[in-house]
Structure 1
Amino acid sequence: MADEKGETRRQRNERFGATSPEVEVPDQLLHVWDWFWELSARRRSGPEALTFADIGEWSRLRQVDLQPIEVEFLMAMDDAYLKAVREDQEAARQRALDESRSR
């Protein structure tokens, strides 16, 4: 996902010469991958967890008949996403703190 400046993590990594992990999604799960990013793009503020209500309402409006395992996948993907976002935020805070100390 792009940040407030329109830059994705992958683009930022490339700019700083860092590598980004490659993600291989099995063909059978590409639809869940797409659903996750559609849901994720609609977060109200910050890195808020997706809720069962969010997923249920999205499913109802989109007329998508979700299977329980697909909901589990979405929740697991969201947990991993939020963990990565929080790690990025902590690293940014640490860089800012280090910069302010070196001044």
Structure 2
Amino acid sequence: MDLRPGRSSLGGPRKFYEELGERLCEAVAIVARYDSVKDKDGETRRKRNESFEAESPEAEVPDNGAFLWHWFWELRQAQPPGLSGPVPIPNIELSAWCQLTGNIIRREELAILRIMDARFCIEIEKESEAIRAREATT
């Protein structure tokens, strides 16, 4: 049975990992956009929305992906910010993390961690650009 992540109209393991990855990426996007980037006043988008009494979405982590969620933030925490934006988690960092923690990552889980990381970097850049644009108009 082919367990590689990817498109599958038949369901099964490939579909499971695809859907799990999509849900985790959506949760990562929310955290990145609403909780991770601060403006010049030290406010996140969530805090800014609260001051205008606007609602902000909450990240919904699926129970069957909670361990990947935890692993992802553990890996991101060890990643220093880049000079020109977020830096993807390098393979050597993942390898060292696996050796240090004893965690064994399946290839499907690694693929999900990679797409979560890519989405995080994209969303951080989008939010940083939105802050720059907002600050340029004020």
Q: Which amino acid aligns with 1:44?
A: P
Q: Given the alignment, which residue of 22, 30, 33 partners 2:58?
A: 22
Q: 4+ runs of 1 displaced by more than 4 Å?
A: 1-9
Q: Cα deviations across residues 48-97 of structure 1 (Å, max 9, x unaligned)?
A: 11122211111111110111111111111111111110011101111121
So what's the TM-score if we normalise by structure 2? 0.61
TM-score w.r.t. the length of structure 1 is 0.79
Name the counterpart of 1:69: 108
Long gaps (5+) in structure 2: 1-34
What value does the CA root-mean-square deviation take over the aligned residues? 2.3
Partner of 2:132: 93
Between Structure 1 and Structure 2, how many residues are aligned? 99
Aligned residue among 26, 33, 46 for 2:69? 33
| Higher mean displacement: 2-11 or 86-95 | 2-11
What are the ranges of 5 or more consecutive residues in structure 1 without an aligned counterpart? none
How much identity, in percent, do the aligned residues show? 35
